[in-house]
Amino acid sequence: MTGKIAALAFLLLLLVQALPVPARAQEEVKKHEWIDHLQGYRITLPEDYEITTNSSGESHMTINGRYIASLFSPWFVFRNLKSSPGEASRQLLSLLQSAKLKGAPVVTLSPLKEETRVAAILELEGLGDFQGLWCFRREGQRSYLISSFVSASLVSRYAADIETAFATCTLLRHIPFSLFEEPTEKAYKIKLPRTWKWEGSIYRDNLVPGFFVLRATALDGALGCFTAPPLHLPTMVSAETIANTAALEYLKRFIPDIRLESFTRYPRAEQEVRSTLKHLQANTVEITASRGTAVYFGVYKGNPTRLRLDIAVECCPMFFSTGGQVRMYGWWAPLVNYDNYSALSQSVLGSVMASRTWVETTNRYVNEAYSYRQQTFERVIAMREAAKVERYSDDFGNVVHIDTTSVENSRFIRDRDGTVYYYDQGDAEGVEAAKKNGQAELKPQ
Q: Any idea which architecture 1-174 has in CATH?
A: 3-Layer(aba) Sandwich (3.40)
121, β-bridge pairs: 131
At 322-334, the pLDDT tens digits run 578 899 999 999 9
Task: Return the closest-CA partner of residue 135 out of 121, 124, 148.
Answer: 148
d(Cα 328, Cα 254) in Å, to the nearest integer? 15
| C-alpha neighbours within 13 Å on the C-beta side of residue 335 | 11
At 282-295, the pLDDT tens digits run 445 567 889 999 99
What's at 356, amino acid-wise? Answer: R
- Provide DSSP, 108-155: EEEGGGTEEEEEEEEEETTTEEEEEEEEEEEETTEEEEEEEEEEGGGT
**Which residues, 6+ apart, have CB-to-CB distance to 108 below 8 Å?**
116, 117, 118, 119
Give the pLDDT confidence score for residue 27 in this predicted structure.
55
> pLDDT in tens for each of the 445 residues of the chain?
434 333 333 333 333 333 333 333 445 789 999 999 999 999 999 999 999 998 888 999 999 888 776 777 899 999 999 999 999 999 999 999 888 888 899 999 887 778 999 999 988 776 678 899 999 999 999 999 999 999 898 899 999 999 999 999 999 998 999 999 999 999 999 999 999 999 999 999 888 889 999 999 998 899 999 999 999 888 889 999 999 999 999 999 999 999 999 999 999 999 888 777 666 554 455 678 899 999 999 999 999 999 999 999 988 665 545 578 899 999 999 999 999 999 999 999 999 999 999 999 998 988 888 788 778 878 877 776 676 777 888 777 778 877 777 777 788 888 877 788 778 877 888 888 777 777 888 888 7
Task: Find out whether 58 and 79 touch, Cβ atoms under 8 Å.
Answer: yes
49 in helix, strand or coil?
Answer: strand
Domain boundaries of the chain, sorted by first residue: 1-174, 180-354, 387-444
Q: pTM for the whole thing?
A: 0.77
Pick the CATH number of 180-354 from 3.40.1000, 1.10.8, 1.10.3470, 3.30.420: 3.40.1000
Same fold, 1-174 and 180-354: yes
d(Cα 304, Cα 252) in Å, to the nearest integer? 15
Give the pLDDT confidence score for residue 168 in this predicted structure.
97
